[in-house]
Amino acid sequence: FRYYGVDRCVFNSSELNDIEFIRSQFYNKLEFARFSSSLGKFVGYTEWGVKQADYWNSQTSYLQAMKAQKETYCLHNIGIWYQNP
């Protein structure tokens, strides 16, 4: 059994409104929950994932931290990527 998470940034430009931060949570190669900065919340894809998403969405400080990742993680790294020829 293996649990892991994957963070990624989807973007068309270095403009903040063109960037989406996504955190996917997996268990045994099956994505059970995902945070999307476009939605601003977690969504569950399995019965357990729905319960986890509900819990994470109820944690205001955690949800705010996830929303901040778009600017903190994505915008910073995408800016570096666009600077390099």
Instruction: Name the residue ranges covered by the structural domains of the chain.
Output: 3-76
Architecture of the domain made up of 3-76: Roll (3.10)
pLDDT at 84: 66
Residue 48 to residue 13: CA distance in whole angstroms: 35
Q: Residue 71: what pLDDT?
A: 87
Residue 17: what pLDDT?
Answer: 83
Q: Tell me: the pLDDT tens digits for 19-60?
A: 899 999 999 999 999 999 999 999 999 999 999 999 999 999
Alpha helices in 24-85 (DSSP H): 47-58, 60-69, 76-83
pTM of structure: 0.86
Q: What is the dihedral of CA 57, 72, 13, 32, to 10 degrees?
A: -30
Q: Which residues contact 40 (CB under 8 A, 6 or more apart)?
A: 63, 67
Q: What is the pLDDT of residue 85?
A: 58
Positive or negative torsion for Cα 73, 76, 79, 84: negative
Q: What percent of the chain has pLDDT over 70?
A: 98
